[in-house]
Structure 1
Amino acid sequence: MMKLAIATLTSLALTTSLVQAQQVYTGGDDLPTNPLACDGTPGTATPMDYDGGTPTNAPDRAGQTLTVVDVPKLVGIGYFAATTQGIMEAAAELNMNATTDGPTRANIDDQITLIDNYITSGVDGILFAANDPVAIAPVLRRALEAGINVVGYDANSEPDARQWFVNQAEFNGIGKAMIDQLAAEIGEDGAFAIVTSTFTTPNQARWISEMAAYQAECYPNMRWLETVEAQEDNILSFNQANTLINKYGDELDGIAGMTSVATPAAADAVTQAGQCGNIAVVGLATPNAMRPYIEADCVKSAVLWNPIDLGYAAAYVLRAAADGTLNPGDTSVEAGRLGELQVINGSEVLLGAPFVFTADNIADFDF
């Protein structure tokens, strides 16, 4: 009887361990996913009604000089320096006075305080990249109630808390690009981990959820070991990547970085650990940050879009919203040198497909 009890407990322990191993928390969200086809067949978008907000009693701003504040997740990193550059380029074309004023760390409370202050001081428009989609929504709704035009980019809020959101790439497109690159480098049965900023950062949570769905469908033998948070902090990102390297040893085939900080930090950790060629690093990052690792052949690729274009597009969308040339139900918007951008998902403007930087093309970019 004792042997039977011990055997039963052992079996339960093994079963529990297996279930836990199969339910590795990915750091994604609980929203429905829409993985793209494994063979690359383009997805089809389902038309949706406008679900954004509307400024209350907004004055007629058509053709008027706009005073606009840009509040990114944080300042002081290359990625948001690039979006600011794009905003300023567009502002020079659009009769717009724009300034960037973000927190020095990716902190939602600091971001809310900044936006609140600009509502009080009075601006015509607010551009933002949210650190938390839910927490930022009330202050953005206050901006709309004050008659301010509100447009998001990079990281969304709840839809009704802004008018439009400029999406750098569709979430399932990023998910496919990331997993396809990982599979190409670590094999279809390789094991990988993720370094993200926080589990609540909206765009990264969506990308990770779509990565999980696409990987399960198209590369079912790949193993997802762990997802760790590192804020948008270079030292913490390096330490988290280093911890993964030490924790999993030979089991770890690849690291996916979900931020422009985490990816080069992971590449640095792999380099310093002497694991170039053994542990692949794939992730979202600016080409300037990844150039040393790609040119040294420690990293094969980085996935991104042009953040200068993203900021540029966001400013054009805000101008169009303020002028009344972009309205609910429209299917496209003109965006200067970017041409005509498509409206998707009711109230999102799509910048375009993700881009893969490699040794063959990275020298062509400087941001």
Structure 2
Amino acid sequence: MKRPIALLAGLALLATACGGTTRSDVAAQQSAAPAASSAPAAADPNAPIKPGLKIAFLPKQVNNPYFTIADRDGVAATKEFGGEGKEVGPSEASASSQVSYINTLIQQKQDAIVISANDPNAVVPALKQAMAAGIKVVSYDSDTAKDGRHVFVNQASAEDLGRTQVQLLAEQIGHQGRIAVLSATPNATNQNTWIEFMKDELTKPEYEDMELVKVAYGNDDDQKSFTETQGLLRSYPDLAGIISPTTVGIAAAARYLSDSDFKGKVKLTGLGTPNQLRAFVKDGTIEGFELWNPGDLGYLAGWAAAALASGQITGAEGERFKAGKLGEYTVGAGGEVLLGKPTVFDAKNIDDFDF
């Protein structure tokens, strides 16, 4: 990247979660799972990073451009502190798809698991088993239930992220018209939280001439997201804009719009990467979109995992740790570590970034 990108301070994305696990299934699994290990030892911020740490990154799905970047830099972080990192995970994002990988990582005696949860609850029983076995758990991008991890590395506050996407689209459509959201999966923790703040933002007086008519789900699958975009515009031919808070969804929607009569008429924004959307910005399909640096998110998560595994932090509020080139971070309430502020990418600045 030619210059550092500001990062967002809230929840996040972007690939997704769905599946057939029921609430009763989850409750039964949780009650059967062993409790996480007892109260941790006090943190020692001066403890050295343990040599040879084994850290596994478990994204919502592999081969997703967003997670490829995040996990690549997370693995790079492990090399910086003398550890061993790897990425494993499902090819499809579903609620239960990550559980078998967690079980395998427990058997492999990893020192830490860094996970972006497809479902906040379905992975918790397996993660509790991991913690009981002494494995540290860091969630990133999309959180688990709090009893399923020690620390959550978050891009931005969910509120800021949800509201800013509405604000960005509102500017593009002149605060008038019908809009839709093209999300990932119905169960994606981050997506749903952002969408609730989007809806709340739209209740403000300045949006009285804007109407959210539909939340569609592309399941973070390219073809389904493409088809859902097509369906939205067939159902609402007067649609003024679409927000897609997922890298897969926004790219698929842009591809559809760029080769349709709706190009330039229907505004599209959301979350994506510069390399992924550069052509669509330059041809006028997209005016502007936003994101944090996913590489820095993975990098920070890797260092947080090392700090946990080395005893520098336990996940308690107020603890501090160093994250290599990113500097020092503080653990906030609920074990949350915020990466930073967002950047809007448009025709003026998109060529300044390479990721």
Report the TM-score, using the length of structure 1 for normalisation: 0.82
1:191 aligns with 2:185: no
Q: Deviations over 1:186-243 (max 9, x none)?
A: 1222211011111210011111111111221252331001001111100000000011
Question: What do you get for the CA RMSD once the two structures are aligned?
Answer: 1.9
How far 1:55 moved relative to its partner?
4.5
Code of the aligned partner of 2:247: S
The sequence identity of aligned pairs, in percent, is: 34
Give the equivalent residue in structure 2 for 1:357.
345
Q: How many angstroms apart in 1 are the aligned matches of 2:224 and 2:340?
A: 31
Q: How many angstroms apart in 1 are the aligned matches of 2:344 and 2:261?
A: 25
Q: Helix, strand or coil: the match of 2:251?
A: helix
1:337 aligns with 2:325: yes
Q: How many angstroms apart in 2 are the aligned matches of 1:359 and 1:131?
A: 33
Which fold has the larger relative contact order, with Cα–Cα distance below 8 Å and residues 6 or more apart in sequence? 2
Q: How many angstroms apart in 1 are the aligned matches of 2:174 and 2:330?
A: 35
Q: Larger deviation: 103-112 or 234-243?
A: 103-112
Code of the aligned partner of 2:323: A
Code of the aligned partner of 1:91: T
Q: Helix, strand or coil: the match of 2:243?
A: strand
Give the equivalent residue in structure 2 for 1:272.
259
1:366 aligns with 2:347: no
Q: How many angstroms apart in 1 are the aligned matches of 2:49 and 2:354?
A: 35
Distance 1:173 1:63, change over 3 A: same
Q: Deviations over 1:34-81 (max 9, x none)?
A: xxxxxxxxxxxxxxxxxxx96459899952311111110001121111
Code of the aligned partner of 1:171: A
How far 1:176 moved relative to its partner?
1.8
Give the equivalent residue in structure 1 for 2:160.
173
Q: How many angstroms apart in 2 are the aligned matches of 1:268 and 1:275?
A: 11
Code of the aligned partner of 2:283: A
Give the equivalent residue in structure 1 for 2:7.
none
Equivalent residues in 2 for 1:5-84, closer than 5 Å: 55=37, 62-84=49-71
1:235 aligns with 2:223: yes
1:142 aligns with 2:129: yes
- Are the equivalent residues in 1 in contact too, given 2:142–2:190 (CA < 8 A)? yes
Give the equivalent residue in structure 2 for 1:325.
312
Equivalent pairs counted in the alignment come to 314
Q: How many angstroms apart in 2 are the aligned matches of 1:244 and 1:125?
A: 42
Distance 1:160 1:61, change over 3 A: farther
Which of 295, 299, 303 is the equivalent residue of 2:290? Answer: 303
- Are the equivalent residues in 2 in contact too, given 1:73–1:129 (CA < 8 A)? yes
Q: Helix, strand or coil: the match of 1:76?
A: coil
1:206 aligns with 2:193: yes
Code of the aligned partner of 1:349: V
Q: How many angstroms apart in 1 are the aligned matches of 2:176 and 2:331?
A: 37
Whichever of the two has the greater Rg, that structure is 1
- Are the equivalent residues in 2 in contact too, given 1:173–1:354 (CA < 8 A)? no
Report the TM-score, using the length of structure 2 for normalisation: 0.84
Which blocks of at least 5 consecutive residues in structure 1 are unaligned? 1-52
How far 1:318 moved relative to its partner?
0.7
Give the equivalent residue in structure 2 for 1:283.
270
Q: How many angstroms apart in 2 are the aligned matches of 1:170 and 1:87?
A: 21
* Structure 1 runs of 4+ with >6 Å offset: 57-61
Q: Helix, strand or coil: the match of 2:334?
A: coil
Code of the aligned partner of 1:79: Y
Q: Deviations over 1:240-268 (max 9, x none)?
A: 00111111112x00011121000011111
Q: How many angstroms apart in 2 are the aligned matches of 1:286 and 1:307?
A: 9
Code of the aligned partner of 1:300: E
Q: How many angstroms apart in 2 are the aligned matches of 1:366 and 1:55?
A: 42
